[in-house]
Amino acid sequence: EAGVAQSPRYKIIEKRQSVAFWCNPISGHATLYWYQQILGQGPKLLIQFQNNGVVDDSQLPKDRFSAERLKGVDSTLKIQPAKLEDSAVYLCASSLDLLGQYFGPGTRLTVT
Amino acid sequence: GNSVTQMEGPVTLSEEAFLTINCTYTATGYPSLFWYVQYPGEGLQLLLKATKADDKGSNKGFEATYRKETTSFHLEKGSVQVSDSAVYFCALSNDYKLSFGAGTTVTVRA
Protein backbone atom coordinates (compact mmCIF):
# COMPACT_ATOMS: atom_id res chain seq x y z
CA GLU A 1 0.00 0.00 0.00
CA ALA A 2 1.45 3.36 -1.00
CA GLY A 3 1.90 5.86 1.79
CA VAL A 4 1.07 9.55 1.98
CA ALA A 5 3.01 11.47 -0.65
CA GLN A 6 4.14 15.07 -0.25
CA SER A 7 6.07 17.48 -2.41
CA PRO A 8 8.35 19.26 -2.44
CA ARG A 9 10.50 17.81 0.34
CA TYR A 10 12.40 21.06 0.87
CA LYS A 11 11.69 24.66 0.04
CA ILE A 12 13.61 27.86 0.74
CA ILE A 13 11.90 31.20 0.11
CA GLU A 14 12.30 34.78 1.16
CA LYS A 15 9.82 36.45 3.49
CA ARG A 16 6.79 37.91 1.76
CA GLN A 17 7.01 35.34 -1.03
CA SER A 18 4.35 32.70 -1.54
CA VAL A 19 4.69 28.91 -1.44
CA ALA A 20 2.47 25.90 -2.01
CA PHE A 21 2.69 22.33 -0.76
CA TRP A 22 1.00 19.29 -2.23
CA CYS A 23 -0.28 16.12 -0.57
CA ASN A 24 -1.70 12.88 -1.92
CA PRO A 25 -3.23 10.74 0.85
CA ILE A 26 -3.49 6.99 1.10
CA SER A 27 -6.09 5.70 -1.29
CA GLY A 28 -9.51 5.46 0.33
CA HIS A 29 -8.68 7.66 3.31
CA ALA A 30 -11.47 10.21 3.59
CA THR A 31 -9.87 12.34 6.29
CA LEU A 32 -6.83 14.49 5.51
CA TYR A 33 -4.84 16.72 7.85
CA TRP A 34 -2.19 19.40 7.56
CA TYR A 35 0.13 19.96 10.51
CA GLN A 36 2.85 22.47 11.25
CA GLN A 37 5.83 21.16 13.21
CA ILE A 38 8.21 23.80 14.48
CA LEU A 39 11.66 22.56 15.48
CA GLY A 40 11.62 21.02 18.94
CA GLN A 41 7.83 20.87 19.18
CA GLY A 42 5.09 18.39 18.48
CA PRO A 43 2.96 18.79 15.35
CA LYS A 44 0.15 21.33 15.53
CA LEU A 45 -3.00 20.76 13.52
CA LEU A 46 -3.67 23.48 10.95
CA ILE A 47 -6.65 22.07 9.10
CA GLN A 48 -8.67 18.87 8.84
CA PHE A 49 -10.71 17.79 5.81
CA GLN A 50 -13.38 15.13 5.63
CA ASN A 51 -13.61 14.32 1.92
CA ASN A 52 -13.55 17.81 0.37
CA GLY A 53 -15.16 19.63 3.29
CA VAL A 54 -13.34 21.44 6.09
CA VAL A 55 -13.98 19.93 9.53
CA ASP A 56 -11.62 22.07 11.61
CA ASP A 57 -9.51 25.06 10.61
CA SER A 58 -9.54 26.82 13.95
CA GLN A 59 -5.73 27.01 14.17
CA LEU A 60 -5.12 28.00 10.57
CA PRO A 61 -3.83 31.61 10.25
CA LYS A 62 -6.38 32.48 7.62
CA ASP A 63 -4.88 35.86 6.80
CA ARG A 64 -1.96 34.11 5.11
CA PHE A 65 -2.65 30.37 4.98
CA SER A 66 -5.17 28.65 2.75
CA ALA A 67 -5.86 25.02 1.91
CA GLU A 68 -8.11 23.14 -0.43
CA ARG A 69 -8.96 19.56 -1.21
CA LEU A 70 -10.66 19.47 -4.55
CA LYS A 71 -12.46 16.23 -5.45
CA GLY A 72 -11.78 14.87 -1.97
CA VAL A 73 -8.36 13.39 -2.78
CA ASP A 74 -5.24 15.57 -3.23
CA SER A 75 -4.77 18.69 -1.18
CA THR A 76 -2.69 21.84 -1.40
CA LEU A 77 -1.61 24.17 1.41
CA LYS A 78 -0.55 27.70 0.49
CA ILE A 79 1.18 30.44 2.41
CA GLN A 80 1.02 33.98 1.08
CA PRO A 81 2.90 36.03 2.13
CA ALA A 82 5.36 33.98 4.17
CA LYS A 83 6.86 35.20 7.43
CA LEU A 84 10.06 34.13 9.14
CA GLU A 85 8.06 32.32 11.84
CA ASP A 86 6.51 30.06 9.20
CA SER A 87 9.79 28.15 8.99
CA ALA A 88 8.78 24.63 9.96
CA VAL A 89 8.06 21.17 8.63
CA TYR A 90 4.58 20.89 7.12
CA LEU A 91 3.16 17.42 7.54
CA CYS A 92 0.22 15.90 5.72
CA ALA A 93 -1.58 12.91 7.21
CA SER A 94 -4.59 10.81 6.31
CA SER A 95 -6.80 8.42 8.19
CA LEU A 96 -9.53 5.89 7.60
CA ASP A 97 -10.80 5.70 11.14
CA LEU A 98 -9.98 6.59 14.74
CA LEU A 99 -7.19 4.02 14.93
CA GLY A 100 -4.37 6.21 13.73
CA GLN A 101 -3.23 8.76 11.23
CA TYR A 102 -0.57 8.01 8.64
CA PHE A 103 1.93 10.74 7.92
CA GLY A 104 3.82 11.77 4.84
CA PRO A 105 7.54 12.62 4.92
CA GLY A 106 6.83 16.34 5.29
CA THR A 107 8.00 19.49 3.55
CA ARG A 108 10.73 21.43 5.31
CA LEU A 109 10.17 25.15 4.72
CA THR A 110 12.85 27.72 5.41
CA VAL A 111 11.87 31.38 5.21
CA THR A 112 14.82 33.77 5.04
CA GLY B 1 -9.55 20.53 26.26
CA ASN B 2 -7.17 17.78 25.29
CA SER B 3 -3.50 17.87 26.20
CA VAL B 4 -0.54 15.53 26.41
CA THR B 5 2.46 15.90 28.68
CA GLN B 6 5.50 13.75 28.12
CA MET B 7 8.88 13.39 29.73
CA GLU B 8 11.34 16.02 28.67
CA GLY B 9 14.48 14.93 26.93
CA PRO B 10 16.94 14.44 25.72
CA VAL B 11 17.45 10.92 26.96
CA THR B 12 20.77 9.18 26.33
CA LEU B 13 21.15 5.47 26.93
CA SER B 14 23.62 2.68 26.29
CA GLU B 15 22.67 -0.21 24.05
CA GLU B 16 20.63 -2.93 25.81
CA ALA B 17 19.48 -0.49 28.52
CA PHE B 18 15.85 -0.22 29.62
CA LEU B 19 13.90 2.72 28.24
CA THR B 20 10.86 4.41 29.78
CA ILE B 21 9.25 7.58 28.46
CA ASN B 22 6.46 8.91 30.65
CA CYS B 23 3.27 10.26 29.12
CA THR B 24 0.17 11.60 30.86
CA TYR B 25 -2.90 13.10 29.29
CA THR B 26 -5.97 15.23 29.91
CA ALA B 27 -9.01 14.58 27.76
CA THR B 28 -12.76 14.58 27.64
CA GLY B 29 -14.46 11.27 27.07
CA TYR B 30 -12.49 8.18 26.15
CA PRO B 31 -9.67 8.98 23.79
CA SER B 32 -7.46 6.60 21.86
CA LEU B 33 -3.78 6.83 22.73
CA PHE B 34 -0.78 6.56 20.44
CA TRP B 35 2.98 6.62 20.31
CA TYR B 36 4.56 7.96 17.14
CA VAL B 37 8.26 7.81 16.29
CA GLN B 38 10.26 10.12 14.06
CA TYR B 39 13.61 8.79 12.90
CA PRO B 40 16.24 11.31 11.76
CA GLY B 41 15.27 12.82 8.43
CA GLU B 42 11.99 10.91 8.21
CA GLY B 43 8.31 11.56 8.80
CA LEU B 44 6.22 10.45 11.74
CA GLN B 45 5.44 6.76 11.97
CA LEU B 46 2.78 5.14 14.10
CA LEU B 47 4.60 2.95 16.63
CA LEU B 48 1.71 1.58 18.68
CA LYS B 49 -1.78 2.38 19.86
CA ALA B 50 -4.42 1.53 22.45
CA THR B 51 -8.10 2.32 22.17
CA LYS B 52 -9.52 1.58 25.62
CA ALA B 53 -8.54 1.29 29.26
CA ASP B 54 -6.12 -1.53 30.13
CA ASP B 55 -5.31 -2.16 26.45
CA LYS B 56 -1.63 -2.79 25.80
CA GLY B 57 -0.14 -1.64 22.52
CA SER B 58 3.07 -3.26 21.34
CA ASN B 59 5.39 -3.13 18.35
CA LYS B 60 9.12 -3.62 17.67
CA GLY B 61 9.74 -4.53 21.32
CA PHE B 62 8.03 -1.37 22.61
CA GLU B 63 4.99 -1.55 24.89
CA ALA B 64 2.56 0.90 26.44
CA THR B 65 -0.52 0.28 28.58
CA TYR B 66 -3.57 2.57 28.64
CA ARG B 67 -4.06 3.42 32.32
CA LYS B 68 -7.30 5.32 32.81
CA GLU B 69 -6.92 5.60 36.59
CA THR B 70 -3.60 7.44 36.27
CA THR B 71 -4.35 8.96 32.81
CA SER B 72 -1.03 7.61 31.59
CA PHE B 73 0.40 5.79 28.59
CA HIS B 74 4.09 5.27 29.37
CA LEU B 75 6.31 3.81 26.65
CA GLU B 76 8.78 1.06 27.58
CA LYS B 77 11.37 -1.11 25.89
CA GLY B 78 13.45 -3.67 27.71
CA SER B 79 16.62 -3.54 25.62
CA VAL B 80 17.21 -0.64 23.26
CA GLN B 81 19.37 -0.66 20.15
CA VAL B 82 21.23 2.11 18.38
CA SER B 83 18.54 1.99 15.69
CA ASP B 84 15.96 3.12 18.29
CA SER B 85 17.51 6.58 18.34
CA ALA B 86 14.66 8.88 17.37
CA VAL B 87 12.13 11.40 18.66
CA TYR B 88 9.11 9.79 20.32
CA PHE B 89 5.73 11.54 20.48
CA CYS B 90 2.82 10.60 22.69
CA ALA B 91 -0.58 11.55 21.28
CA LEU B 92 -4.28 11.20 21.95
CA SER B 93 -7.20 11.22 19.59
CA ASN B 94 -10.74 12.39 20.10
CA ASP B 95 -13.09 12.74 17.16
CA TYR B 96 -10.33 12.12 14.61
CA LYS B 97 -8.19 14.95 16.04
CA LEU B 98 -4.70 14.18 17.29
CA SER B 99 -3.11 16.15 20.10
CA PHE B 100 0.64 15.62 20.44
CA GLY B 101 3.11 15.96 23.25
CA ALA B 102 6.27 17.95 22.67
CA GLY B 103 8.36 14.88 21.88
CA THR B 104 11.25 13.15 23.65
CA THR B 105 14.57 12.77 21.88
CA VAL B 106 16.23 9.43 22.60
CA THR B 107 19.84 8.70 21.70
CA VAL B 108 21.21 5.18 22.11
CA ARG B 109 24.98 4.79 22.17
CA ALA B 110 26.80 1.61 21.19
* pLDDT(A1) > 70: no
Mark yes or no for CB contact B46/A100 under 8 Å. Answer: yes
- Taking residue B4's Cβ as centre, other Cβ atoms within 10 Å add up to 23
Q: What is residue B7's predicted lDDT score, i.e. its pLDDT?
A: 86
Q: Give every CB contact of residue B31 below 8 A, 6+ residues apart in sequence.
A: B2, B25, B92, B93, B94
Quick: pLDDT tens for A36-95.
999 888 899 999 999 889 999 999 999 999 999 988 899 999 999 999 999 999 999 999
Q: Is the CB of A56 inside 8 Å of chain B's CB atoms?
A: yes
For residues A27-44, average pLDDT? 92
pLDDT at B32: 92
| Contact flag B97-A101 (C-beta cutoff 8 Å) | no
Residue of B nearest to A98 (CA): B96
For A37, the closest chain B residue by CA position comes to: B102
Q: In tens digits, what is the pLDDT along chain B, a chain of 110 residues?
A: 889 999 888 999 999 999 999 999 999 888 999 999 999 878 899 999 999 999 999 999 999 999 999 999 999 999 999 999 999 999 998 877 789 999 999 999 99
**Any A CB within 8 A of B32 CB:** yes
